[in-house]
Amino acid sequence: MKIFKLVLSVLIALMIIISPFSVHKSVGMAAVQENYIINGGFESNFWDDGTWQVDNLNADVQYFAYSADTWIDVDEGEHAINYWMKEEGSESKSFTISQTIAALPAGSYELSIKTMGGEGNETGHVKLFAGEKTIDAVATSGYNAWDTINLSFTLEEETTNLQVGATVTGAANAWGYLDSFNLTAKNTDISEPVEAEIFVKKVSGLSEDFIKGVDVSSIISLEDSGVKFYNTSGIEQDIFTTLSESGVNYIRVRVWDDPYDSKGNGYGGGNNDLEKAIKIGKRATANGMKLLVDYHYSDFWADPAKQAAPKAWEHLSFEDKKTAVYQYTKESLQTLLDAGVDIGMVQVGNETNGKFVGESDWTKMSELFNAGSKAIREVDANIAVALHFTNPETGGRYETIAETLNKNKVDYDVFASSYYPFWHGTLDNLTSVLKNIADTYGKKVMVAETSYTYTYEDGDGHGNTAPKETGQTLNYPITVQGQANAVRDVMEAVVNVGDAGIGVFYWEPAWIPVGPANQLEGNKGMWEKFGSGWATSFAAEYDSEDAGAWYGGSAVDNQALFDFNGHPLPSLNVFNYVHTGAVARLEINEIKDISLSVVLGEKVELPETVTVTYNDGSSGFASVTWDTAALEQAIKDGVGTYLIEGIVDGGAKIKANLQIKPENYVLNPSFEELDRSMWKIEYGNDDAPHTDYQQKASDAKSGEYSLHFHSADAIDFTIEQTINGLKPGYYNLSMFLQGGDAEDSDMAIYAIANNVEYRTKTSVNGWVNWSNPEIDNILVVDGMVTIGASIKAAGGAWGSLDDFYLYRVGDYEEEIKEEEIKEEEAPKESESDGNQTGDGKGNEKNQASNNVEKDNKPAPSDLKNTSKSPVIETKKGKSLPNTATNTYNMLLIGLFLIATGGLTILWKKKYNRRSEK
């Protein structure tokens, strides 16, 4: 019996020793660190040893032994603090417990405490502080309901005599317990910034095991196409070695099931099957980097717009599809491990916002996620499971997804997000939405894809996704420094989540050209043969709408961290520099080109100095010398668009986009002058005035003033101005309009000349989303035109009008008497009076369409003097006429021919007389 007890004791001891090593490994867990707090567990009597200072004592604060309460759940150790707010008085009671830390080095820290106590009227409120930094008080929630309160803070420099502690408040009879007071350093690396080619601000709080990853899935196909990569010394080197030397510690690789057609032709995008993943994984492992396997569960690109199941799974039932996901994941993952690949994480799906393996029902999607997760857990429980989504900028999207995953009991560790700065909102928002998921659902979070462009140039002849003039937010300069700043800031945004923020992956930093842009045909051959472009023509059978229409090369060669010839850019080293910081020689990083618009005749003045941004992020002014000869020539040439180049001090170049516009004949067109008597505003149906000349620059297109409108009742007004003394000819008219909430709207810009009304409809589309309606080819014969706008909408509509512009575009050469016009163009009885707007079937037509010739030039019949003004609805984009109508041209030609004939007869008679002599 004694032997049995002895053996049993040994076994139990072994289990205790071994058990910590068999616990499932958490992603991103940090090692146990020093606690700067003395007597943080209150194991010694602080009243006796003075380790804690207690102030503002409106409470009974006791050194408490857990043994005194048999029902209490012990937090840790044998002692804690117990408090009870005194009954005297009705005011709120409080006390502060604090400790002064003699010295702390620069770095990031976390202060924490465990608390529990009363609820309802007996609730205690605990607020942590560290110097001036604090957080909102956290309420106790009941007996034995222990809660941990955390305060994270950063010290930019060494700090002495820092007071840390907690303030506890509550009503009379509030009570509670405090225990486990800890102050630990998250990062205290205070090394000096290194000398470099770029500036990088150190990221505070960045742990040593933070994931600094890159996705180089296209690399094998690029190397097969002849692309070479070099190290910083210009020597050809395995790119995986270069990446590792640059601070990269993780490689991401996408895996498609079968990215080939029936003849073995690859779909492109790297032709990333399992074989390619093994090759990439082995090279990553050999260079000390872990692998993230990104299963798309598709034969080609999977993203929010398309999540097609593999060809082999196309006709499977849902249950069979789940089995296929499970088996494929398990078998392929085991194959990778058997090849010696060090796998740290597996991604189940790619950007699965609303669809996965062809399924769009979240219940089914969740079951498929779990099928993949189950396979991963069975292969190796230490491999982290990630799910990947995108569009963090969409309000509530991630919260809804995370809540659904939790409700459907999906098993995963990491919530991963794409974040491209030009599409996906602010970094503060990214931190906020990821932190919400981490705090609410206890998940690790990371950015699985990010990138930024460093040049406007296209390297291979296939267009790039960025930068674009519209639809993208470009908050960083399009430079190598700007690229480095963008990457660094995304890492900081994830670090700011807290311990749950585990890393960032840069997407395709090596997808550079297979050949120069001027050798496009040769590049196409490489893309087709080796799959080194984003898609080949063979992918059309699987993805006809996207790849089938737009197949080609790299759309991100200007977002790579290598130049077009394979040499690493200084921005690649950002993965090292975020730990130390980096400094460089101060130089101009960005000079934004300027744009200047003037009216013909106005003085053209280009600025003598321009704003420049330096590579350390600061800004300043620099003198500029403009090409005066080009400027003088532009002024001489008159109306048009010109590009004037300049040289900034230091040699950098700048461009001025100069637009010289024709003279604006509208008086006070932007309402900036206080005399607005030239404008006439009328309201329909005796409505009360609901417009005003508003001084608010944010609502104006230019300057500070605009004509603002708003009414809870219907909007119905016109604003117009009559302009006299114009030279006969053709004119264009435009204005700017913005606003919103305009139901049942009828808005237009109009002009009336020679009793003919021209009109172009318009609308409002949101605040400062300016509409710019224009009327082309307004014929002015008598020197007078009335221009204006008509605005109608249901109650609640609002908006503003600004910058009316009337300018001359062509000559009117004929002067024909009104009697001749009437005789030549007498109206027929069957002609419309010009007010017809439809075809009787509810379909709008171009009004007075029978009286409008091509290019919107009015036919001569439009010039007749009628009691009603015919309406001509105009369209944009027509070419401008330079002469009068064809009818007048024919009259001129006829008169010329008659005169020529008469002269010929007279000459012939005279010639005959001479002959007779």
CA dihedral 425, 427, 428, 429 (to 10 degrees): 40
Alpha carbons 709 and 798: distance in angstroms, whole number: 5
Say how far apart CA 484 and CA 578 lie, in whole Å: 10
For the question of residue 829 being annotated catalytic, the response is no
423-428-431 Cα angle (round to 5): 95
Q: CA–CA separation, 30 vs 209, rounded Å?
A: 8
Counting every residue, how long is the chain?
917
- H-run or E-run covering 376: helix 362-379
List strand residue ranges (DSSP E) for 784-891, in order.
785-793, 798-811, 871-873
Count of helices and strands (H, E) across the chain: 16, 39
Query: Of 491, 556, 631, nearest to 222 (Cα)?
Result: 556
Q: Which residues does residue 345 pair with via DSSP β-bridges, in sequence order? A: 292, 384
What secondary structure does DSSP assign to 772-785, as a single string? Answer: --EEEEEEESSS-E
Q: How far is CA 21 from the centre of its chain?
A: 43
Segment (H or E) for 427 = helix 427-441
- Between 480-495 and 427-441, two packed helices, what is the crossing angle to 10 degrees? 30
Q: Which pair of structure tokens corresponds to residue 508?
A: 């395709």
Handedness of CA 709, 713, 716, 721 (dihedral sign): negative
* Structure tokens belonging to residue 780: 């002015």
> Quick one: which of 511, 513, 421 has its CA closest to 458?
513
The DSSP letter of residue 852 is B
Annotated catalytic residue within 110, 359, 367, 449 = 449
Strands (E), 118-200: 125-130, 133-134, 138-139, 142-155, 159-170, 175-187, 194-195
Q: Report the SS3 class of residue 917.
A: coil
Question: Strand, helix or coil at 450?
Answer: coil
> Under a CB-based contact definition with an 8 Å cutoff, are residues 380 and 329 in contact?
no
The whole-angstrom separation of Cα 679 and Cα 351 is 55
Give the span between the Cα atoms of 707 and 804, in whole angstroms. 11
3-state secondary structure (DSSP) of residue 370: helix
Q: Which of 827, 832, 732 is nearest to 787 (CA)?
A: 732
Q: For 591-603, b where at least 16 C-beta lie within 10 A, e where not — what string?
A: beebeeeeeeeee
Beta strands 746-753 and 756-762, pairing class: antiparallel
| DSSP state letters, 336-352 | HHHTT--EEEEEESSS-
Total Cβ atoms within 10 A of residue 280 = 27
CA dihedral 76, 79, 85, 87 (to 10 degrees): 130
The structure tokens listed for 647 are 């040289």
Which of 122, 351, 359, 757 is an active site residue?
A: 351
3-state secondary structure of 681: strand
Q: What are phi and psi of 563, to 5 degrees?
A: -75, 180
Rounded (5°) CA angle 609-612-615: 155
Residue 591: strand pairing partners: 612
CA nearest neighbour of 835 among 866, 793, 789, 797: 866
How far apart (Å, rounded) are the C-alpha atoms in residues 479 and 484?
9
CB 681 within 8 Å of CB 719: yes
**853 among known catalytic residues:** no
Distances (CA, A) of 134 to 116, 492, 594: 20, 21, 45
Which residues are identified as catalytic? Answer: 351, 449
